[in-house]
Amino acid sequence: MAAEKFRVGLVQMSATPDPENNLQRAIEHVRNAAGKGAQVVCLPELFQTQYFCQREDAALFDLAEPIPGPTSAKLAEVAKQLRIVLIASLFEKRAPGVYHNTAAIFDADGSLRGLYRKMHIPDDPLYYEKFYFTPGDLGFRAFDTNAGRIGTLVCWDQWYPEGARLTALQGATVLFYPTAIGWHPAEKAEFGNAQHDAWRTIQRAHAIANGVYVAVVNRVGFENGDIRGKSASGAGLEFWGGSFLCDPFGRVIAESSHDKEEILTGEVDLRILEDIRRNWPFLRDRRIDSYAPITNRMID
Give the catalytic positions in this structure.
45, 118, 155
Helix (H, G, I), strand (E, B) or coil at 262: strand
* Cα–Cα distance, 15 to 220 (Å, whole number): 8
Burial class (CB in 10 A: 0-12, 13-18, 19+), 294: exposed
Q: Under a CB-based contact definition with an 8 Å cutoff, are residues 84 and 40 in contact? A: yes
Given a contact cutoff of 8 angstroms between Cβ atoms, the answer to whether 265 and 38 are in contact is yes
Cis before 70 (ω within 30): no
The DSSP letter of residue 279 is: H
User: What is the residue-wise DSSP string for 203-226?
Assistant: HHHHHHHHT-EEEEE--EEEE---
- Check: CB of residue 247 under 8 Å from CB of residue 274: no
One-letter amino acid identity for 274?
Answer: E
- Which spans in the chain are helix H? 19-35, 70-82, 161-168, 185-210, 270-279
